[in-house]
Amino acid sequence: MAREAHLLPESCDVAVVGGGPAGLAAATCLKLAGVESVVVLEREPNAGGIPRHCGHPPFGMREFNRCLTGQTYARALVERAEKVDVRIHVNTSVVSLEVGGGITVSSTQGDASITAGRVILCTGVRETPRSTRMVSGCRPLGIFTTGSLQSMVYLKNSIPFRRPVIIGTELVSFSALLTARHAGIKPVAMIEENACMTARAYCRPLPMILGVPLYRSTHVLEIMGKERVTGVRIMDNAGTERTIDCDGVLFTGQFTPESSLLRMAHLEVDPASGGPVVDQYGRCSDPSFFATGNLLRPVETAGWCWREGVRTAAVVVRSLDGQLPLSERTFEITSRSSLIKYIVPQIISLPHNGDGAGHLQLRFQESAKGSLCVQQNGETTWRKTMHAKPERRVLVPTPRFTGDVVDHAIEISFSATS
């Protein structure tokens, strides 16, 4: 039976933009904490976010103490939210954000404006498509990202190719391998520019188990074919070229936050993470807006984003109750190493008594061994020797401010050892 569509409200206590794991977790927890009107605005026909088209496990260990497929997990999150009367508006795209919590939506009910006490932005990430990867060749049919492949296979029951080449070895590239296996697609190669695979060691045997040759230290020179993909020309770091016959190319990973709404609005965007500039509470440069989940930075797992959504809900409840201090002063966190790709949050609001995000999240550009060091007011307050790897989470305890605070930014540096 078709579910009755809720009418869009003119105002609400909290509007959640994006109904993925982070948004649904935040909305559910807000209702459980007694916030009266909470709406989720989701542009797709169903809420659940990326997991809706991940037909494979493992999802849900933190949230449901069970190992679920992405699709079952997405449905369970939606059910949990609806049970506590979260209003989920699907087919509803947020098209603009206004100062102080205003949003404009475009939906099947027409265009509308909503005034929200607080807005939580959770629009997630997307993969970098071929158009921005500067790979030469014509534009034949058969070029996809993992997300588009998964939505074809799991949501539209359609198979776009039979023998693709997979570009990349991030965690999501293995998600692509599993999707291919499910659909009877037999990838003919996996290509990695670096000498090592990006994903963790436990993923590494999968290409071999599935009989997919892996080419490391190799990049794509050209996609061949005019109407349809017929092959790719690749070259390794020694300069050896070869051609692989295939009928498709799958670009995986190289995630970027879905921050187009922020870029068109008044909110500050961090060029390093690609997401909004936030303080330790996930509060944006306009304090009526908060951000959570993968929009903050590329890229984390569903369970991690769900937990961030839970934490953000607690902070937003305090903000609605007037218990979250408006920042008297903010301290920037500055990177002093080109090896550090980004740091989130980017600022600390004072007064800061240790609540909010317990950790700063960092990512490295490339594999590096050395010592990561935090300095406050010129003094080293934290140091750790590590072997950092690209696309791996690095956590640094959020600096505390004790005694007299002097006007010095917090600096994070990395001294590489050979």
Ligand X SMILES: Cc1cc2nc3c(=O)[nH]c(=O)nc-3n(C[C@H](O)[C@H](O)[C@H](O)COP(=O)(O)OP(=O)(O)OC[C@H]3O[C@@H](n4cnc5c(N)ncnc54)[C@H](O)[C@@H]3O)c2cc1C
Toward ligand X, which CB reaches closer, 77 or 368?
77
Write down the least CB distance from residue 141 to ligand X, Å: 20
Kindly state the helix (H) or strand (E) to which residue 144 belongs, with its residue range. strand 143-145
* 147 scored as a contact of ligand X (CB under 6 A): yes
Toward ligand X, which CB reaches closer, 60 or 225?
60
Which span sits near ligand X by CB under 6 A: 13-21, 342-350, 353-361, 373-381? 13-21
- Residue 125's DSSP bridge partners are 257
Candidates 125, 190, 348, 362: give the one binding ligand X (CB under 6 A).
Answer: 125
**How distant, in Å, are the alpha carbons of 106, 280, 318, 335, 351 from that of 401?**
44, 13, 21, 19, 8
Backbone region of residue 244 per phi and psi (left: phi > 0; alpha: psi in -120 to 50; beta: other values): beta
* 127 scored as a contact of ligand X (CB under 6 A): yes
Candidates 20, 207, 248, 370: give the one binding ligand X (CB under 6 A).
Answer: 20
Toward ligand X, which CB reaches closer, 124 or 142?
124
Which residues lie closer than 8 Å to 1 by C-beta, 6 or more apart? none
Is residue 170 exposed (0-12), middle (13-18) or buried (19+ Cβ within 10 Å)?
A: buried
* 119 scored as a contact of ligand X (CB under 6 A): no
Using CB under 6 A as the binding rule, the residues of this chain from 281 to 310 that contact ligand X are 293-294, 299, 301-302, 305
404 φ/ψ angles, rounded to the nearest 5 degrees: -75, 130
Per-residue binder mask for ligand X (CB under 6 A), 355-394, x = binder: ----------------------------------------
d(C-alpha 4, C-alpha 133), whole Å: 43
* 94 scored as a contact of ligand X (CB under 6 A): yes
Write down the least CB distance from residue 100 to ligand X, Å: 19
Q: Tell me if 231 sits within 8 A of 143, measured CB to CB.
A: no
**Binding footprint of ligand X, residue count (CB under 6 A):** 36
Q: Please give the full DSSP string across 290-347, using - where no structure is assigned.
A: EE-GGGGSS---HHHHHHHHHHHHHHHHHHHTT-SPPPSEEEEEEE--TTEEEEES-E
Write down the least CB distance from residue 343 to ligand X, Å: 19
Label the pairing between strands 189-191 and 214-215.
parallel
d(C-alpha 318, C-alpha 93), whole Å: 27
Task: Tell me which residue has tokens 């949501």.
Answer: 155
The closest alpha carbon to 118, from 274, 264, 263, 314, belongs to 314
Q: Tell me if 95 sits within 8 A of 235, measured CB to CB.
A: no
* 167 scored as a contact of ligand X (CB under 6 A): no
- Residue 269's DSSP bridge partners are 276
- Residue 370's DSSP bridge partners are 386, 416
Write down the least CB distance from residue 238 to ligand X, Å: 32
Which span sits near ligand X by CB under 6 A: 96-104, 123-131, 135-143, 229-237? 123-131
Toward ligand X, which CB reaches closer, 38 or 234?
38
d(C-alpha 341, C-alpha 335), whole Å: 9
Toward ligand X, which CB reaches closer, 90 or 232?
90
Toward ligand X, which CB reaches closer, 181 or 384?
181
Per-residue binder mask for ligand X (CB under 6 A), 31-70, x = binder: ----------xxxx----xxx--x----------------
Toward ligand X, which CB reaches closer, 226 or 263?
263
* 22 scored as a contact of ligand X (CB under 6 A): yes
Q: Please give the full DSSP string across 209-250, using - where no structure is assigned.
A: HTT--EE-SEEEEEEE-SSB--EEEEEETT--EEEEE-SEEE
Toward ligand X, which CB reaches closer, 43 or 352?
43
Write down the least CB distance from residue 39 to ligand X, Å: 11
Write down the least CB distance from residue 147 to ligand X, Å: 3
Per-residue binder mask for ligand X (CB under 6 A), 252-281, x = binder: ------x--x--------------------
282 φ/ψ angles, rounded to the nearest 5 degrees: 80, 20
Candidates 172, 191, 315, 324: give the one binding ligand X (CB under 6 A).
Answer: 172
Candidates 15, 29, 122, 153: give the one binding ligand X (CB under 6 A).
Answer: 122
Q: Tell me if 237 sits within 8 A of 152, measured CB to CB.
A: no
Write down the least CB distance from residue 383 to ligand X, Å: 31
Q: Interface with ligand X by CB under 6 A: which residues?
A: 17-23, 41-44, 49-51, 54, 93-94, 122-127, 146-147, 150, 172, 175, 258, 261, 293-294, 299, 301-302, 305
